[in-house]
């Protein structure tokens, strides 16, 4: 349920700086609410459906952030990257400041669907092995896909350091060198290791689906959008 908040608190909650910095933005005539300039930091607004702008950049009020992002290759899912730029360098600074985190990570060279949020319960619900939210990947292989490869992945392959075989929830051929692979787990390099254990090699990897959420065909690599409320459910 939404609640009335002062404009200073609204900006602070949305990642626009400290309370003092947000107050300064308002006093400097940098903030408008629902299209009207507001210079009073203590002015109170109902946050339900609230739209404001900072330096003419529109921003919707969100109590919690739920983001879908199309990750490009050669970016790390970390605030402290080691060898490549961080995906957080591609996001607006307010999202970074309010502390959005990756809902499970993708390898540096893996592209595709990535969720980010500052809602700890949502992150746990979508990423914890306990809930087994399925993830689907488009896998490009070095050698041609054949029936034996698909059968092994569906029946289960034994990975190094694992005591039991791991099987795909679903696996089907897409083209001569591509297959669609659905997994319930999210183990380290799992897709690459499973395909290698079945006698092939992953050349490219793209995550296309998490639960019922499909990667947008019109969302370019490096772009993001807000999740609609109906999309937040993992079902």
Burial 51-82 (b: 16+ CB within 10 A, else e): ebebeeeebebbeebbbbbbbebebbbeeeee
pLDDT tens digit string along 59-110?
Answer: 999 999 999 999 999 999 999 888 899 999 999 999 999 999 999 889 999 9
223 carries an active-site annotation: no
Residue 209 pLDDT: 95
Provide the whole-model pTM: 0.90
* pLDDT (average), residues 154-176: 92
pLDDT tens digit string along 42-65?
Answer: 999 999 999 999 999 999 999 999
Whether the predicted pLDDT of 234 surpasses 60: no
Whether the predicted pLDDT of 22 surpasses 80: yes
Give me the catalytic one of 40, 46, 107, 155. Answer: 107
Q: How would residue 160 be classed by pLDDT, with cut points 50, 70 and 90? A: confident
Q: Which domains does the chain have, with CATH numbers?
A: 4-60 (3.10.290.10), 66-129+213-231 (3.30.70.580), 135-210 (3.30.70.1560)
Closest-CA residue to 23 (of 34, 12, 35): 12
Whether the predicted pLDDT of 1 surpasses 60: no
| Tokens linked to 34 | 């629902």
Whether the predicted pLDDT of 2 surpasses 70: no
Residue 229 pLDDT: 79
Residue 69 pLDDT: 97
CB burial of residue 94 (10 Å; 0-12, 13-18, 19+): middle
pLDDT tens digit string along 203-220?
Answer: 999 999 999 899 999 999
């Amino acid at each position: 349920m939404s609640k009335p908040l002062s404009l200073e608190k609204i900006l602070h909650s949305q990642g626009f700086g400290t309370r003092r910095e947000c107050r300064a933005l308002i006093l400097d005539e940098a903030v408008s609410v629902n299209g009207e300039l507001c210079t009073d930091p203590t002015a109170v607004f109902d946050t339900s459906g609230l739209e404001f702008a900072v330096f003419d950049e529109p921003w919707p009020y969100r109590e919690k952030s739920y983001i879908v992002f199309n990750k490009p290759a050669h970016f790390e899912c970390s605030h402290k990257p080691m060898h490549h730029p961080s995906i957080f360098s591609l996001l607006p600074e307010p999202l970074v400041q309010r502390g959005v985190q990756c809902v499970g990570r993708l390898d540096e060279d893996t592209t595709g669907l990535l969720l980010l949020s500052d809602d700890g319960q949502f992150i746990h619900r979508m990423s914890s092995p306990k809930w087994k939210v399925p993830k689907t990947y488009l896998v490009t292989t070095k050698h041609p896909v054949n029936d034996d490869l698909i059968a092994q992945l569906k029946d289960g392959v034994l990975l190094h350091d694992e005591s039991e075989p791991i099987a795909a929830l679903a696996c089907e051929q897409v083209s001569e060198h591509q297959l669609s692979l659905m997994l319930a787990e999210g183990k380290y390099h799992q897709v690459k290791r499973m395909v290698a254990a079945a006698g092939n090699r992953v050349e490219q990897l793209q995550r296309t689906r998490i639960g019922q959420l499909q990667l947008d065909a019109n969302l370019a690599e490096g772009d993001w959008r807000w999740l609609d409320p109906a999309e937040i459910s993992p079902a």
